[in-house]
Structure 1
Amino acid sequence: MSDGVELPPHRFAGLIAPAIDRVFVAGMLAGRDGGGAELSSRYGGPAATGFLVELRTRLATPGGTVSGPGFAAVTRYRDPATCQRTLDKQVAYGMLQRVPDGGLCATERGLAFLAELWQLHAEVTEELWAGHDDRVGRLVPTLGRLLAYALVLAESDEPGAFAAMAPPHEPAGAPAAVLLLNRLSALRYHRADAHAAAWAAAGHTATSIAGLPPGPERLAIEQETDRRAAGPYAVLTAEERLVMLADLSALPG
């Protein structure tokens, strides 16, 4: 393989997105089915822990907060009033607390839950991707490079979901498989912001894009999403892009 392979960043962004989604979803489902439901129930169930799980890559960081605009970007396809009521419940459960700028952070109890969730994810992903150490070992540093470059690019953009959720919390000694899960999680928000920018530029809202049927307009928005999401992949050679796609495609899930 060589850099002459016809796989430019914008094409690769469209090809890699479903592979990223598949592997990420497999890891999260393994956590849910491998003890996550029981763990959540000990802290009050989904009504108490839902946003902690969703926002874990930032809230697990010591002193980590998610700003009000960042939260709105992460939940852009959901009803804002419903999200705020859900937050109120999780604050009442003592899992989250609001900060003066309108954002939120985890309480001591919330951090205890996230520490247990982190350990659970480490255990289930190690089992899920057992026998694929070489692939995981290649993917983790590759994703690290992508996230680092995406963060540089994001400095010139409007704050969005990616800025709210990246870089992910990575304590010393974290196993490679859980690093993979959470780096994939953060990278998905980069594409989510690209998609939101693409449909907004086409005159859509979060509501109208959800109801847009397949067709030329939808295709044009997806192609624009690929173009906007392509930036970080320029840091990889064409060969590295192919290896990343092959490694993700080979992982179980």
Structure 2
Amino acid sequence: MPTEPLRCAGALIVDDGVELAPHRFTGLVAPAVERAFVAGMFAGHDGGGAELSQRYGGPTATGFLVEFRTRLAVPGGTVDRAGFAAVNRYRDPATCQRALDKQIAHGMIARQPDGGLTATERGVDFLAELYQVHAEVTEELWAGHDDRVHRLVEAYGRVLAYAVLLAGEPEAEPGPAFAAMAPPYEPDGIPSGVLLLNRLGTLRYHRADAHAAAWTAAGHTATSVGELPDGPERRAIELETDRRAAGPYSTLTADERLGVLADLAALPG
């Protein structure tokens, strides 16, 4: 790993002559974000989340609450039709609606007159307990890495805030999945592990929107892009995804981008 990175014209230049601009960094950091996030969510499932879900009716009652937890845990938080559809863009719409209807019947989610979704009182209680489960499991999963977790929480706090700011610009392209999830619910006293887990999770939807915009521009649908074989066309879509997803990471300095990669790589899970 280079020891003397230099900042040049807004890009990261490392001492072996390889440039790591924000759009290239975005492509490198995406799998690291995915690994850390998935590790935290699996730990939550195995460390009490599955048992918690069963107490409230099982996955058929809680599935979308878990998925949309960063917004539905917010007092009065709502996910609109567009956001729900965008988050589920790779799933069969009819299947999703049947699953949603079951969770509404379980009294966990309420549908508003305009089609928006909110958590019921019972749903809010479930989410409060879920946040506690995630607090316990991330503390155990990332034990001994407090400084690393704190650095990542701070860095991703700035990245996320900038992503929200960029999404509000008049010339911004629609990002309905990210809009449905951001900003994540962060009540006072929330532990660093939960902050990191939810900030990473929310940023995943920023990239998901970028990916959808890239394959749409290339003439694909959610179905056809999933069937696209490895090759130049898929690679071009991935590169365009990196370009569209890069904006929020420009708020980090060159050294901070390298530090984020190193810290994510070193997290257990």
Which TM-score band applies after superposition, normalised by the shorter structure?
over 0.9
Q: Secondary structure at the match of 2:94?
A: helix
CA distance in 1, matches of 2:126, 2:65: 8
Where does residue 2 of structure 1 map in the other structure? 6
Structure 2 gap ranges (5+): 14-18
Letter in 2 for 1:62: P
Where does residue 188 of structure 2 map in the other structure? 172
Where does residue 225 of structure 1 map in the other structure? 241
Alignment of 1:199-214 (within 5 A): 199-214=215-230
Where does residue 255 of structure 2 map in the other structure? 239
- The answer (yes or no) to whether the contact 2:158–2:251 under 8 Å persists in 1 is yes
**CA deviation string 1:26-71 (max 9, x = no partner):** 0000000001110000000000000000000000001000000010
Where does residue 182 of structure 1 map in the other structure? 198
How many correspondences in the alignment? Answer: 253
CA distance in 2, matches of 1:159, 1:30: 29
Where does residue 108 of structure 2 map in the other structure? 95
TM-score by length of 1: 0.99
CA distance in 2, matches of 1:111, 1:178: 17
Q: Secondary structure at the match of 1:130?
A: coil
Where does residue 135 of structure 2 map in the other structure? 122
Letter in 2 for 1:246: A
Where does residue 163 of structure 1 map in the other structure? 179
Where does residue 74 of structure 1 map in the other structure? 87
TM-score by length of 2: 0.93
Name the % identity. 74
The CA deviation at 1:103 is 1.2
Letter in 1 for 2:38: V
User: Runs in 1 of length 4+ with deviation above 3 angstroms?
Assistant: none
Q: Secondary structure at the match of 2:6?
A: coil
**CA deviation string 1:90-127 (max 9, x = no partner):** 00000000012211010000000000000000000000
The CA deviation at 1:135 is 0.4
**CA deviation string 1:187-246 (max 9, x = no partner):** 000000000000000000000011111011000000000000101111111111000000
Question: Root-mean-square deviation (CA), in Å?
Answer: 0.8
CA distance in 2, matches of 1:171, 1:101: 27
